[in-house]
Chain A
Amino acid sequence: QKEVEQDPGPLSVPEGAIVSLNCTYSNSAFQYFMWYRQYSRKGPELLMYTYSSGNKEDGRFTAQVDKSSKYISLFIRDSQPSDSATYLCAMRVSGGYNKLIFGAGTRLAVHP
């Protein structure tokens, strides 16, 4: 069983829609949770990270962590065609060797 599960999509939405991207995980020791965005033919870039449970908002993006359910989400409000990319969740335990575990990524297409 994979430590991090992510629906590969593709997810296709109209411009202006609210997008919900999700990951589930099995390791209850994960403390840091991140979302990376990867455009075609580019490397991943960090969107947001959160520590432990709770919400974090940055502009149109909101990251949520529910440690009791081992479930994290990224919400995109007022989605734009420029949001079309693959979104990767990543997480790690606190301390020790800094190993990030990545999900396989969800492909998102926002059409005008």
Chain B
Amino acid sequence: EADIYQTPRYLVIGTGKKITLECSQTMGHDKMYWYQQDPGMELHLIHYSYGVNSTEKGDLSSESTVSRIRTEHFPLTLESARPSHTSQYLCASSDSLNSGANVLTFGAGSRLTVL
């Protein structure tokens, strides 16, 4: 079944730890995105990729980094986590063939808590 998968779903870590949030999609979509979602707030785009070896920062400044070595994989890394990084991180993908509406398919999210 075509889908988009995020792991871990929940993560609680201490300050200063390095973490990687994994995102994989099986739909062959060329575009992938990372959004940050806090309660009662809009989704904010933090990173996006139009294809392999293409990554750009989004509108919301983030200390995280991403990589896109394979079409299906778009991991997000925080080198040194801080309490201010506590949030829900949503991965999404879209297909250039539907570039008009740019319909996004979202993963279930990774909820990160930094103590």
Query: Measuring CB to CB, which residues of chain A are less than 8 angstroms from any residue of chain B?
Result: 2, 4, 8, 32, 34, 36, 41-46, 49, 51, 88, 92, 94, 98-105
Asked if A94 and B45 make an inter-chain contact with CB atoms under 8 angstroms apart, the answer reads no
Asked if A32 and B101 make an inter-chain contact with CB atoms under 8 angstroms apart, the answer reads yes
Residues on the B chain within 8 Å of A2, using CB: 42
Tally the A-B contacts, defined by beta carbons under 8 Å.
Answer: 54
Asked if B106 and A44 make an inter-chain contact with CB atoms under 8 angstroms apart, the answer reads yes
Asked if B101 and A49 make an inter-chain contact with CB atoms under 8 angstroms apart, the answer reads yes
Contact among B6, B31, B41 with A98 in the assembled complex (CB-CB below 8 Å): B31
Asked if B106 and A43 make an inter-chain contact with CB atoms under 8 angstroms apart, the answer reads yes
Whole-angstrom distance between the alpha carbons of A56 and B45 in the complex?
28
Residues on the B chain within 8 Å of A88, using CB: 43
Query: Measuring CB to CB, which residues of chain B are less than 8 angstroms from any residue of chain A?
Result: 4, 6, 31, 40-43, 45, 59, 90, 92, 94, 99-109
Residues on the A chain within 8 Å of B101, using CB: 32, 34, 49, 51
Asked if A44 and B90 make an inter-chain contact with CB atoms under 8 angstroms apart, the answer reads yes
Residues on the B chain within 8 Å of A34, using CB: 101, 103
Whole-angstrom distance between the alpha carbons of A99 and B50 in the complex?
12
Residues on the B chain within 8 Å of A103, using CB: 42
Residues on the B chain within 8 Å of A45, using CB: 106
Asked if B107 and A104 make an inter-chain contact with CB atoms under 8 angstroms apart, the answer reads no
Q: Which residue of A lies closest to B91 (CB)?
A: A43
The list of the 4 closest CB pairs from A to B, nearest first, reads A43-B106, A98-B102, A102-B43, A102-B42
Residues on the A chain within 8 Å of B90, using CB: 43-44
